[in-house]
Chain A
Amino acid sequence: EAGVAQSPRYKIIEKRQSVAFWCNPISGHATLYWYQQILGQGPKLLIQFQNNGVVDDSQLPKDRFSAERLKGVDSTLKIQPAKLEDSAVYLCASSPGTAGEDTQYFGPGTRLTVL
């Protein structure tokens, strides 16, 4: 079974530029998550989709971050304009979306450096 795919793996941009990340979840997984992991910290949830609807975006900085999940499969996360403090690894995860225990499986992440 293929895992969660993310691209690009690395991205370097200057502040005030825009950037987009792509995620392809495990086939059949209803729930998709985007986490931000700042160096030395644990991942923090930015946004969670159930199929193609948003169920939690309470920690997404909506003035600069946006995300969508088209047709309930792939997802993109965009930052516009980027700030220095956005330098982090952006992790995508997916889970089956079942009631009870619903394990999240993570992709390799995209490492963003904002100069």
Chain B
Amino acid sequence: GEDVEQSLFLSVREGDSSVINCTYTDSSSTYLYWYKQEPGAGLQLLTYIFSNMDMKQDQRLTVLLNKKDKHLSLRIADTQTGDSAIYFCAESDSGGYNKLIFGAGTRLAVHP
């Protein structure tokens, strides 16, 4: 079945770039998403990429997609303490009605 994997933890210094990686298994996924979850809150959509794209940039966020390797990454430029959160990668289930399959999340810690 579908599976999404992420590294569990990333620590960066304030002002540096953060890169969060994700691998997925469903080669037919049409859209891939990045969500952010702060403590006690729901999931906030950050960005998504269509599967026929290699890259998408949105202000400080850059998404890279390597469809051949089924690898997705999220780069956050000039990381700030407010970026500390859990980041979830998700693929849309090609066999379902827009069902999302989530990874376990990467906890990003930003330190001074």
Contact with A along B30-60 (1 / 0, CB 8 A): 1100010000111111001010000000000
**A48 CA to B100 CA, complexed, in Å:** 11
Q: Are A4 and B98 CB-contacts (below 8 A) given A42-B90, A103-B48?
A: no
Residues of A contacting B88 in the complex (Cβ-Cβ under 8 angstroms): 42-43
Whether B98 and A104, one on each chain, are in contact in the complex, defined by CB atoms closer than 8 angstroms, is yes
Whether A104 and B42, one on each chain, are in contact in the complex, defined by CB atoms closer than 8 angstroms, is no
Whether B43 and A106, one on each chain, are in contact in the complex, defined by CB atoms closer than 8 angstroms, is yes
Whether A107 and B42, one on each chain, are in contact in the complex, defined by CB atoms closer than 8 angstroms, is yes
**A28 CA to B92 CA, complexed, in Å:** 22
Candidates B45, B48, B102; contact of A105 at CB < 8 Å? B45
Whether A102 and B98, one on each chain, are in contact in the complex, defined by CB atoms closer than 8 angstroms, is yes
- Rounded to whole Å, the gap between the CB of A83 and the closest CB of chain B is 22
Whether A108 and B42, one on each chain, are in contact in the complex, defined by CB atoms closer than 8 angstroms, is yes
The tally of residues in B whose CB lies under 8 Å from a CB in A reads 23
Residues of A contacting B99 in the complex (Cβ-Cβ under 8 angstroms): 45, 48, 56
- Rounded to whole Å, the gap between the CB of A8 and the closest CB of chain B is 14
Whether B45 and A43, one on each chain, are in contact in the complex, defined by CB atoms closer than 8 angstroms, is no
- Rounded to whole Å, the gap between the CB of A63 and the closest CB of chain B is 22
The verdict on A25 contacting chain B, using a C-beta distance below 8 Å, is no
